[in-house]
Amino acid sequence: MKWTDLDDNWCPVARTLSLVGDRWTLLILRDCFLGLSRFDQFAESTGATRHIVSDRLKRLVEAGILEKLAYSDRPKRYEYKLTEKGQEFAPALIAFKDWGKKHLPVRRPTQA
Protein backbone atom coordinates (compact mmCIF):
# COMPACT_ATOMS: atom_id res chain seq x y z
CA MET A 1 0.00 0.00 0.00
CA LYS A 2 1.24 3.46 -0.81
CA TRP A 3 1.26 6.09 1.88
CA THR A 4 -0.75 8.63 -0.08
CA ASP A 5 -3.56 6.04 -0.01
CA LEU A 6 -3.92 6.87 3.66
CA ASP A 7 -5.57 10.18 2.83
CA ASP A 8 -9.08 8.86 3.39
CA ASN A 9 -8.25 6.48 6.19
CA TRP A 10 -10.71 6.35 9.08
CA CYS A 11 -7.96 7.45 11.45
CA PRO A 12 -7.06 11.13 11.69
CA VAL A 13 -3.48 10.25 12.58
CA ALA A 14 -3.16 8.25 9.37
CA ARG A 15 -4.66 11.07 7.32
CA THR A 16 -2.22 13.52 8.86
CA LEU A 17 0.66 11.20 8.11
CA SER A 18 -0.40 10.84 4.49
CA LEU A 19 0.37 14.55 4.19
CA VAL A 20 3.29 15.24 6.50
CA GLY A 21 4.44 11.80 7.60
CA ASP A 22 7.89 12.03 6.17
CA ARG A 23 11.03 13.28 7.83
CA TRP A 24 11.93 16.00 5.35
CA THR A 25 8.45 17.44 5.32
CA LEU A 26 8.46 17.71 9.08
CA LEU A 27 11.95 19.23 9.08
CA ILE A 28 10.82 21.85 6.59
CA LEU A 29 7.90 22.67 8.85
CA ARG A 30 10.26 22.96 11.79
CA ASP A 31 12.30 25.45 9.77
CA CYS A 32 9.20 27.46 9.01
CA PHE A 33 8.49 27.73 12.71
CA LEU A 34 12.10 28.86 13.20
CA GLY A 35 11.50 31.67 10.74
CA LEU A 36 13.09 30.29 7.58
CA SER A 37 11.13 30.79 4.39
CA ARG A 38 13.30 30.36 1.30
CA PHE A 39 14.16 27.41 -0.89
CA ASP A 40 17.90 27.56 -0.34
CA GLN A 41 17.46 27.98 3.39
CA PHE A 42 15.39 24.83 3.60
CA ALA A 43 17.86 22.90 1.48
CA GLU A 44 20.81 23.94 3.60
CA SER A 45 19.14 23.71 6.97
CA THR A 46 17.54 20.31 6.52
CA GLY A 47 20.26 18.67 4.45
CA ALA A 48 17.63 17.34 2.03
CA THR A 49 18.41 17.44 -1.68
CA ARG A 50 16.97 20.29 -3.73
CA HIS A 51 14.84 17.72 -5.50
CA ILE A 52 13.17 16.72 -2.25
CA VAL A 53 12.81 20.28 -1.03
CA SER A 54 11.08 21.16 -4.28
CA ASP A 55 8.71 18.23 -4.06
CA ARG A 56 7.84 18.70 -0.40
CA LEU A 57 7.22 22.42 -0.72
CA LYS A 58 4.88 21.70 -3.61
CA ARG A 59 2.90 19.22 -1.53
CA LEU A 60 2.75 21.52 1.47
CA VAL A 61 1.44 24.37 -0.65
CA GLU A 62 -1.14 22.10 -2.30
CA ALA A 63 -2.24 20.96 1.13
CA GLY A 64 -2.70 24.54 2.29
CA ILE A 65 -0.10 24.24 5.01
CA LEU A 66 2.30 26.71 3.42
CA GLU A 67 1.66 29.49 0.96
CA LYS A 68 4.04 30.61 -1.76
CA LEU A 69 4.48 34.37 -1.92
CA ALA A 70 6.54 36.51 -4.27
CA TYR A 71 8.91 38.72 -2.34
CA SER A 72 10.53 40.13 -5.48
CA ASP A 73 9.11 40.68 -8.94
CA ARG A 74 12.24 41.24 -10.99
CA PRO A 75 13.77 38.75 -10.70
CA LYS A 76 10.83 36.59 -9.60
CA ARG A 77 11.62 35.27 -6.15
CA TYR A 78 9.37 33.37 -3.81
CA GLU A 79 9.17 32.54 -0.17
CA TYR A 80 7.06 30.10 1.79
CA LYS A 81 5.03 31.01 4.83
CA LEU A 82 2.90 28.99 7.21
CA THR A 83 -0.82 29.43 6.75
CA GLU A 84 -3.07 29.33 9.77
CA LYS A 85 -3.58 25.63 9.10
CA GLY A 86 0.19 25.29 9.17
CA GLN A 87 0.57 27.33 12.35
CA GLU A 88 -1.77 24.94 14.07
CA PHE A 89 0.69 22.17 13.52
CA ALA A 90 2.92 23.65 16.22
CA PRO A 91 1.76 21.35 19.04
CA ALA A 92 2.93 18.29 17.14
CA LEU A 93 6.41 19.70 16.60
CA ILE A 94 6.62 20.82 20.20
CA ALA A 95 5.72 17.31 21.30
CA PHE A 96 8.51 15.94 19.09
CA LYS A 97 10.94 18.49 20.49
CA ASP A 98 10.08 17.68 24.10
CA TRP A 99 10.35 13.96 23.52
CA GLY A 100 13.69 14.34 21.74
CA LYS A 101 15.15 16.57 24.43
CA LYS A 102 14.18 14.12 27.12
CA HIS A 103 14.97 10.83 25.43
CA LEU A 104 17.61 11.50 22.81
CA PRO A 105 20.42 13.59 24.26
CA VAL A 106 23.15 14.50 21.79
CA ARG A 107 26.21 12.32 22.16
CA ARG A 108 28.73 13.90 19.84
CA PRO A 109 28.38 17.67 19.50
CA THR A 110 27.79 18.74 15.90
CA GLN A 111 30.96 20.19 14.43
CA ALA A 112 30.64 23.91 15.13
Q: Which residues bind DNA (CB under 7 A)?
A: 1-3, 22, 24, 38-41, 48-52, 54-55, 57, 68, 71, 74-79
Which residues are CB-contacts of 3 (< 8 A; sequence separation ≥ 6)?
Answer: 17, 18, 21, 22
- Based on the shown chain and the rule CB under 8 A, indicate whether residue 51 belongs to the binding site for a copy of itself: no
Least distance between a copy of itself and beta carbon 70 (Å): 26
| Polymer length in residues for the chain | 112
> Nearest approach, Cβ of 49 to DNA (angstroms)?
4
Query: Residue from 28, 48, 57, 82 that binds a copy of itself (CB under 8 A)?
Result: 48
Per CB under 8 A, 96 contacts a copy of itself: yes
Contact partner, 61, from DNA, a copy of itself, none, Cβ < 5-8 Å per class: none
Read out DSSP for 45-111?
HH---HHHHHHHHHHHHHTTSEEEEEEETTTTEEEEEE-HHHHTTHHHHHHHHHHHHHH---SSPPP
